[in-house]
Amino acid sequence: MTQKIALVTGAAQGIGYACAKALADDGFRVVLSDVNAEGVAKAAETLGGTAVAIACDMSDGDQITALFDQIETEVGPVHTLVNNAGIALPGRFLDYSPDDFRKVLDVNVVGVFLATQRAARTMVDKGLKGAIINMSSINAVVAIPTIPAYCASKGGVNQLTKSASLALAPHGIRVNAVGPGSIDTEMMAGVNADPQAMKIAMSRTPLQRLGSATEIANTVAFLASDKASYITGETIYVDGGRLGQNYTC
Ligand SMILES: NC(=O)c1ccc[n+]([C@@H]2O[C@H](COP(=O)([O-])OP(=O)(O)OC[C@H]3O[C@@H](n4cnc5c(N)ncnc54)[C@H](O)[C@@H]3O)[C@@H](O)[C@H]2O)c1
């Protein structure tokens, strides 16, 4: 049997790197991609085995096309795509710049759409019953005032996940999303280092701790596996119980 190929975007660090590791542990040949060329090369080296790194800015459609062309020529067709790359760009709502808003949507939604479409075209051509997993967030459904573009983008990811799942189901391709809560990565470094911010975050986290990148990656690996063979169009929230609560005192 030939090794299935998985592509993880935003894989130089954090959740993306953990996803690459989990999929490699499950037997995939992994391609790690990131806008940070040096960082992703180091990450692939650390992962070892058959992992390879290819730099790509997920906000750039031409680079996304070139990424898939290169993978298909040098490695093979992508069976599992993890659309993980994402940015937040915080700012005060009343001053939030249209440029920042567009930047966030370009990476977090347009990039996810273009990569999904490009990956799915080859899956359909080759009759590959692949899996696509998008990194959403609890902010798809609960909001924070200082990251308006991020909240809008993750809401978009959830609906894009559903739309793509319907379009690709006739081809046996599954499309799902994972919605992390507060996870201990660089993206959360500001909150983690600020005791007051952590106190607020923990007051909204029934399991009373941050999640780890590996806990998100384990859910991605499940959705990529045959154990999830009848799941498509879903977002699974991995959030320590946050979305279930509605304390008023
Ligand atoms: N950390 C959390 O608490 C949390 C919570 C909910 C959702 N998420 C989501 O998980 C994903 C990963 O987050 P993380 O915490 O690991 O973040 P991170 O900032 O640690 O890592 C993000 C990675 O994406 C890369 N990246 C940024 N812009 C890119 C672009 N244009 N093209 C390609 N790569 C790019 C960065 O270089 C970095 O390696 C994101 O989609 C994020 O929105 C994270």
Q: Which residue has the tokens 């992962």?
A: 47
Token output for 57: 């800015």
- Beta strands 174-180 and 131-135 are parallel
Q: What is the pLDDT of residues 53-105, one digit of tens each?
A: 999 999 999 999 999 999 999 999 999 999 999 999 999 999 999 999 999 99
DSSP secondary structure of 52-121 = EEEE--TT-HHHHHHHHHHHHHHT---SEEEE---------GGG--HHHHHHHHIIIIIHHHHHHHHHHH
Cross-strand pairs, 3: none
Of 151, 213, 218, nearest in space to 187 by CA = 213
Distances (CA, A) of 185 to 189, 200, 234: 6, 18, 24
Closest residue by Cα to atom 19, ligand 1, is 187
Percentage of residues in the chain having pLDDT higher than 90: 94
Cα(129) to centroid(ligand 1), Å = 27
What whole-number distance in Å separates Cα of residue 206 and Cα of residue 169? 35
What whole-number distance in Å separates Cα of residue 9 and Cα of residue 177? 14
Give the position, in ligand 1's atom list, of the atom nearest the Cα of 85: 24
Q: What is the pLDDT of residues 37-62, one digit of tens each?
A: 999 999 999 999 999 999 999 999 99
Note the pLDDT of residue 1: 61
Contact 93, 17 (CB under 8 A): no
Cα(180) to centroid(ligand 1), Å = 11
Mean pLDDT of the chain: 97
DSSP secondary structure of 20-52 = HHHHHHTT-EEEEEES-HHHHHHHHHHH-TT-E
Which amino acid appears at position 36 of this protein?
N
- Ligand 1 contact via 10 beta carbon (within 6 Å): yes
- Ligand 1 contact via 13 beta carbon (within 6 Å): yes
- Ligand 1 contact via 131 beta carbon (within 6 Å): no
Cα(51) to centroid(ligand 1), Å = 20
- Its CATH class, for the domain covering 5-239, is alpha beta
Ordered by start, the domain boundaries in the chain are: 5-239
State the pLDDT confidence band at 249, using cuts at 50, 70 and 90.
Answer: low
CB burial of residue 212 (10 Å; 0-12, 13-18, 19+): middle
Helix (H, G, I), strand (E, B) or coil at 230: coil
Which amino acid appears at position 242 of this protein?
R
- Beta strands 235-238 and 5-9 are unpaired
Note the pLDDT of residue 2: 84
Averaged over 2-8, what is the pLDDT? 96
Averaged over 120-133, what is the pLDDT? 98
